[in-house]
């Protein structure tokens, strides 16, 4: 289905002011954004407009009751300069899974993808050419009803904006296993990319930083025994040649980068286990010299290598980077797919295609 998306181009592009060799993550934004409003049971007023501020009513329900979800994606350029996306349909499906959990309306997948392609096509000059850099894409939705009362909103706004970014974690990170606070529990909102999940993580992360660690390693909410995630990412362990990652049990986000990693590892013949992983098992593996790698995975970082993990009175230092093979191989594979230097045998790479520019 083709949608009627109107386009208002900016009269003053900010592109010339950007230093693509020195981009602070999440601080630079492209020229345009896609906006749609949900009212009377349907998405209306589909438009691409210059990037800018919104007016918001003081009683907008998102500000009081937290109906807000988002996605994180990237657009890259191949070595021959073509704009591309990696598995965009998976993000369309996941934002709707988040919407269902938060009692919000679905965005039709074809609308999501058409708007995405149109916006990236219009602003593709903002995609950094450097390997490891990308155009970060933020689709999100929030409640806009002007009402003080705990109930699902009847009106929503859906937006996609973008911004060029460099590498998220320039060096391996240090973690501390959280023993008091939890990120999510079964039956909660852990599988949804809901804004409140991230708000609740800020205090534990601040405390971890004050103790000298970069991020929190989240444990289960009942026993603080089983590992869930790291910071805002899924987590992988390489123990005695096996790659182990916590199973998505309802409290763990079903990461698209996580899924991509599992597919790559299976294709290459690695032994993989998706299961509950107790911290005691990790400690024993470290003591036996079998804890070979730990890394986080997510859209922003792709792979974030872990340097050390603190747990109670122990500090587990991981092997030096030159001894690690799997995490580096995965990042090279995903970066290569994005750059077009590795053949896409899985149908993940999608060229940015839109006729939006010929219509304006």
- Asked whether residue 118 falls in the same domain as residue 217, the answer is no
- Asked whether residue 156 falls in the same domain as residue 178, the answer is no
Q: Say what the pTM is.
A: 0.95
Task: Tell me what pLDDT residue 311 has.
Answer: 97
Task: Encode pLDDT of 204-240 as tens digits.
Answer: 999 999 999 999 999 999 999 999 999 999 999 999 9
Task: Tell me what pLDDT residue 1 has.
Answer: 66
Going by DSSP bridges, is the β-strand pair 156-165/314-317 parallel, antiparallel, or unpaired?
unpaired
- Asked whether residue 312 falls in the same domain as residue 195, the answer is yes
Q: Which residues of the chain fall below pLDDT 50?
A: none
- Asked whether residue 35 falls in the same domain as residue 178, the answer is no
Q: How big is the CA angle at 206 (ends 310 and 97), to the nearest 5 degrees?
A: 90
CATH code of the domain containing 288: 3.20.10.10
Write out the residue range of the structural domain in which residue 251 sits.
Answer: 173-324
Task: Tell me what pLDDT residue 121 has.
Answer: 97
- Asked whether residue 187 falls in the same domain as residue 317, the answer is yes
- The secondary structure of 45-76 as a DSSP string is EEEEEES------TTBTHHHH--EEE--EEEE
Tell me if 332 is assigned to some domain.
no
- Running DSSP on this structure, what letter comes out for residue 318? P
What is the domain count for the chain?
A: 2
- Asked whether residue 139 falls in the same domain as residue 259, the answer is no
Tell me if 245 is assigned to some domain.
yes
Neighbours of 205 (CB within 10 A): 19
Tell me if 222 is assigned to some domain.
yes
- Asked whether residue 153 falls in the same domain as residue 228, the answer is no
- Asked whether residue 147 falls in the same domain as residue 289, the answer is no
Tell me if 337 is assigned to some domain.
no
CATH code of the domain containing 75: 3.30.470.10
Task: Tell me what pLDDT residue 24 has.
Answer: 86
- Asked whether residue 216 falls in the same domain as residue 309, the answer is yes
Task: Tell me what pLDDT residue 350 has.
Answer: 97
- Asked whether residue 144 falls in the same domain as residue 208, the answer is no
Determine the straight-line distance between the first and last CA of the chain, rounded to whole angstroms: 20
Please give the C-alpha separations between residue 105 and each of 26, 67, 157, in angstroms, as whole numbers.
27, 11, 10
Task: Tell me what pLDDT residue 8 has.
Answer: 96
In the chain, what's the furthest Cα-to-Cα distance?
A: 64
Tell me the two tokens of residue 132.
């490891």
- Asked whether residue 146 falls in the same domain as residue 178, the answer is no
- Asked whether residue 52 falls in the same domain as residue 112, the answer is yes
- The secondary structure of 90-145 as a DSSP string is HHHHHHHHHHHHTT-PPPPHHHHHHHHHHHHHHTGGGS--STT-EEEEEEEEEE--
Task: Encode pLDDT of 93-135 as tens digits.
Answer: 999 999 999 999 999 999 999 999 999 999 999 999 887 789 9
């Amino acid at each position: 289905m083709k949608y009627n998306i109107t386009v208002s181009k900016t009269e003053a592009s900010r592109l010339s002011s950007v230093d693509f060799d020195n981009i602070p993550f999440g601080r630079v934004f492209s020229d345009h954004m896609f906006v749609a409003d949900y009212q009377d049971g349907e998405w209306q007023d589909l438009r691409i407009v210059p990037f800018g501020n919104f007016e918001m009513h003081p009683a907008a329900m998102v500000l009081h009751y937290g109906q807000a979800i988002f996605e994180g994606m990237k657009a890259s350029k191949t070595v021959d300069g073509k704009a591309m996306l990696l598995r965009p349909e998976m993000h369309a499906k996941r934002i709707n899974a988040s919407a269902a959990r938060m009692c919000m309306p679905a965005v039709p997948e074809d609308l999501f993808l058409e708007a995405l392609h149109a916006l990236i096509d219009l602003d593709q000059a903002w995609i950094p050419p450097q390997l490891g850099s990308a155009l970060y894409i933020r689709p999100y939705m929030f409640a806009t009803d002007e009402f003080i009362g705990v109930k699902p909103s009847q009106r929503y706004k859906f937006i996609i904006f973008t911004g060029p970014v460099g590498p998220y974690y320039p060096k391996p990170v240090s973690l501390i296993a959280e023993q008091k606070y939890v990120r999510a529990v079964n039956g909660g909102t852990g599988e949804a990319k809901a804004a409140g999940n991230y708000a609740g993580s800020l205090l534990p992360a601040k405390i971890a930083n004050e103790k000298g660690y970069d991020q929190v390693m989240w444990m289960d909410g009942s026993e603080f025994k089983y590992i869930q995630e790291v910071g805002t990412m899924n987590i992988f362990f390489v123990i005695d040649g096996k790659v182990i990652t916590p199973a998505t049990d309802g409290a763990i986000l079903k990461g698209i980068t996580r899924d991509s990693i599992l597919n790559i590892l299976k294709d290459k013949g690695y032994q993989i286990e998706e299961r509950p992983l107790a911290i005691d098992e990790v400690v024993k593996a470290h003591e036996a010299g079998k804890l070979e790698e730990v890394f986080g995975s997510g859209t922003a970082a792709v792979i974030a290598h872990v340097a050390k993990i603190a747990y109670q009175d122990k500090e587990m230092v991981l092997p030096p980077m030159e001894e690690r093979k799997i995490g580096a191989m995965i990042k090279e594979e995903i970066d290569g797919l994005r750059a077009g230097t590795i053949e896409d045998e899985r149908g993940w790479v999608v060229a940015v295609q839109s006729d939006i520019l010929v219509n304006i």
